[in-house]
């Protein structure tokens, strides 16, 4: 496996492209918006610089990695030579289904298709292609260059060969592959999102304020980041869509998204990416101000 195309150059796609380029793969990063691609390249360069400061990477390695990274707004030409396509576009079933159909039409027959979806069914996405045995979930964690876990999700029709190839690839980029079965939220988000939702519900009911909730989980449970700050970091729209999938998929009230989360997404307060969520990031993004609810 040498040539990898990453679809979607937002928070996750840019991080995934960064990691593969760093470990010697030729990358084409695709987005429908040129502005998103420009921003992704800027962000990747900044993150490489951070790795240089930490002594993880040399300047020459940064230059070599960037030289392996191309961008494109044309999916059809970007996947034409690919050995693997990793889809990391917006979390939306219809959008991803269309992307999978397009990739299937234009990618070589041997190409493997992975999705970074947080919660959507791998089996259902695979059904939009003529190669369901070659479709798999490759769920990276945010921030991708730092987090070592990749949750590998095996769809109903994913072949042993596809699973083996993707597991091996994950190890090659020095990440840890852990396999989950294809049910709503898989493993990581099925456990994480109800906790985040409960933190929002606790805030909504006025049991604690933003600071108290986050500090309790940090100091009391040893979490590196409180659940509300983590929700801002993930993106409140992403959190809401994962909860909707859990709620619909299992039909249980315990997964119903908190009304406060729905309101914040409707208002466009999506967390770090819009500078406002449970915290205000506009003055000092590293030390955001907790908001009152």
151 counts as catalytic: yes
Give one word for 15, left, alpha or beta, with left for phi > 0 and alpha for psi -120 to 50.
Answer: alpha
What pairs with residue 140 in β-bridges?
A: 150
Closest residue to bound ligand NAD by CB: 10
**Both structure tokens of 140:** 């990276």
**Both structure tokens of 214:** 């986050």
Distance CA 125, CA 100 (A): 7
Nearer residue to ligand NAD within complex by CB, 210 or 245:
245
Q: Should residue 239 be labelled a site residue for ligand NAD when binding is judged by CB under 6 A?
A: no
Return the residue of 3, 10, 137, 231 that touches ligand NAD, per CB under 6 A. Answer: 10
Provide the minimum distance between the beta carbon of 84 and ligand NAD in the complex, in angstroms, as a whole number.
Answer: 16
Q: Which of these segments, 105-113, 136-144, 165-173, 218-226, binds ligand NAD (CB under 6 A)?
A: 136-144
Nearer residue to ligand NAD within complex by CB, 23 or 233:
233
Return the residue of 36, 111, 231, 246 that touches ligand NAD, per CB under 6 A. Answer: 36
119 counts as catalytic: no
Residue 46: in which H helix or E strand, if any? helix 34-53
Return the number of other C-beta atoms located less than 10 Å from residue 292's C-beta: 6
**181 φ, ψ to 5°?**
-90, 165
- What Cα–Cα distance (Å) separates residue 90 from each residue in 87, 104, 118, 189? 9, 19, 10, 17
Q: Should residue 91 be labelled a site residue for ligand NAD when binding is judged by CB under 6 A?
A: yes
Of 72, 118, 241, 269, the catalytic one is 118
Distance CA 2, CA 12 (A): 20
Q: Should residue 90 be labelled a site residue for ligand NAD when binding is judged by CB under 6 A?
A: yes
Of 47, 106, 151, 197, the catalytic one is 151
Return the residue of 4, 6, 12, 196 that touches ligand NAD, per CB under 6 A. Answer: 12
Return the residue of 47, 51, 65, 117 that touches ligand NAD, per CB under 6 A. Answer: 117
Q: Should residue 182 be labelled a site residue for ligand NAD when binding is judged by CB under 6 A?
A: no
Q: Which of these segments, 116-124, 157-165, 202-210, 254-262, binds ligand NAD (CB under 6 A)?
A: 116-124
Q: Should residue 164 be labelled a site residue for ligand NAD when binding is judged by CB under 6 A?
A: no
From the list 195, 201, 230, 228, the residue with the least C-alpha distance to 213 is 228
Between CA 79 and CA 53, with CA 15 as vertex, the angle to 5 degrees is 135
Of 189, 197, 241, 269, the catalytic one is 189
Nearer residue to ligand NAD within complex by CB, 57 or 114:
114
From the list 158, 163, 117, the residue with the least C-alpha distance to 139 is 117
Reported as half-sphere exposure (CB side, CA atoms, 13 A), residue 228 has a value of 31
**Residue numbers at the binding site for ligand NAD (CB under 6 A):** 7-13, 30-33, 36, 88-91, 95, 99, 116-118, 139-140, 142, 234-235, 238
User: Which residues are catalytic, by number?
Assistant: 118, 139, 151, 189
């Amino acid at each position: 496996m040498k040539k990898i195309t990453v679809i979607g150059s937002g928070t996750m796609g840019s991080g995934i492209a960064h990691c593969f380029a760093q470990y010697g793969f030729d990358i084409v990063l695709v987005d429908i918006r040129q502005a998103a691609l420009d921003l992704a390249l800027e962000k990747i360069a900044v993150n490489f610089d951070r790795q240089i400061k930490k002594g993880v990477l040399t300047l020459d390695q940064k230059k070599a990695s960037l030289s392996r990274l191309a961008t494109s707004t044309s999916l059809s030409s970007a996947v034409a030579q690919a050995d693997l396509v990793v889809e990391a576009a917006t979390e939306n079933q219809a959008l991803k289904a269309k992307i999978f159909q397009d990739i299937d039409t234009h990618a070589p027959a041997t190409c493997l298709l992975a999705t970074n979806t947080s919660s959507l069914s791998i089996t259902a996405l695979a059904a939009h292609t003529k190669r369901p045995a070659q479709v798999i979930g490759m769920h990276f964690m945010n921030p991708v260059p730092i987090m070592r876990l990749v949750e590998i999700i095996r769809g109903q029709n994913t072949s042993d060969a596809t699973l083996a190839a993707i597991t091996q690839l994950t190890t090659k980029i020095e990440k840890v592959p852990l396999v989950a079965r294809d049910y709503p939220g898989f493993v990581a988000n099925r456990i994480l999102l109800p906790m985040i939702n409960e933190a929002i519900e606790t805030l909504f009911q006025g049991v604690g304020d933003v600071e108290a909730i986050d500090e309790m989980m940090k100091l009391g449970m040893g979490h590196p980041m409180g659940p509300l700050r983590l929700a801002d970091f993930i993106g409140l729209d992403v959190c809401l869509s994962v909860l909707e999938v859990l709620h619909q998929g299992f039909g249980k009230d315990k997964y119903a998204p908190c009304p406060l989360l729905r309101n914040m997404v409707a208002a466009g307060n999506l967390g770090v990416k819009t500078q406002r969520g449970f915290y205000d990031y506009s003055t000092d993004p590293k030390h955001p101000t907790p908001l009152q609810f």
